[in-house]
Amino acid sequence: MREFLATPKVAKRKLNNPGPRAIIAMEAQLIQLEGAINALSVIAETMGHGEAPSAASYLSRAAAEHREELQRLWLIAFKAVSPLA
C-alpha cells in the first residue's frame, strides 16, 4: 500500500479515485495480510495444545485484532470500487 500512498496529496487523489492497478495492488496486499492472519491463528491453535498456552493466547488475540482491521480495510476497498457503496 505504501507504494501508491507516497505523499498525502497523491494518497488523497488515489484513494478518492483509485485506478485499476492501485485496486489490484490493494487487493493483493489484503489477501497477503489475510493469509498471514490465518497462519497466525493456526500457529496459536497449535501452540495452545503444547507447552506455550500463554503465547498461544497472545497470538490468538493478536490474530483477532488484525482480523477486525482486515475486515475494515476490505470494507474501505469495496467502497472505493463499488458504485453502489
pLDDT the model gives residue 2: 47
Does a structural domain hold residue 12? no
pLDDT the model gives residue 9: 62
Tell me the mean pLDDT in the region 40-67.
74
Q: What is the pTM of this model?
A: 0.51
pLDDT the model gives residue 41: 78
Does a structural domain hold residue 47? yes
Q: What sign has the CA pseudo-torsion 45, 46, 51, 55?
A: negative
Count: domains in the chain: 1
The residue segments making up the domain with residue 64 are 19-81
Does a structural domain hold residue 76? yes
pLDDT the model gives residue 73: 79
Does a structural domain hold residue 14? no
8 confidence band (pLDDT: 50, 70, 90): low
Tell me the mean pLDDT in the region 10-36.
72
CB 57 within 8 A of CB 6: no
